[in-house]
Amino acid sequence: MITQGVKITTRCEACGGVLMRDTGQFIDRGRLWWGTEGTCLACPVAWCEQDFGDATPEEIRQALLMEHGSARLRLTEPEASAVPVLRALREVHGLSLAQARAMTDELKTTGLVGTFVEMELVASWLRQHSVGVAVETSSA
């Protein structure tokens, strides 16, 4: 399982104490999941939530990007046929053909940028379609 997370300390809105949040993204059964849980160290406030889909809450994405930096997905053979790339991008994101073409152009030139987990998910779909790709992290 591919996963990435971050621990965040904030103020509890209920009591003003220290609230510990553990949040992140992961891939399970070919889907992008996100989750967050929180526990106040001073009062009984606690929760856990998890969901899947293309739309990870922006607060979670930004926390991951701030902590770990972005990842860039690149084609290892930029001159390869666009057909399997288009098919994979449409399948993973549910894109229209026009949207998939725009994303394919971006992938062939500058690469796609997002969280590590997001880029690994797209990379896995591309690899299933025999498209050579590499995920580069900002720490690499």
Per-residue pLDDT tens over the stretch 29-55: 889 999 999 999 999 999 999 999 878
* Mean pLDDT confidence for 51-67: 91
What per-residue confidence (pLDDT) applies to 49?
93
In the predicted structure, residue 102 carries a pLDDT above the cut 70: yes
Spatial distance between the Cα atoms of 38 and 41, rounded to a whole number of angstroms: 10
Contact 65, 57 (CB under 8 A): no
Whole-number pLDDT of residue 54: 74
Residue 140 pLDDT greater than 70, yes or no:
no
In the structure encoding, which two tokens stand for residue 51, read together?
């969901």
Distance CA(19)–CA(116), nearest Å, equals 26
> For position 139, what pLDDT does the model report?
60
Residues with Cβ within 8 Å of 19's Cβ and at least 6 positions away in sequence, in order, are 9, 10, 11, 12, 13, 38, 39, 40, 41, 45
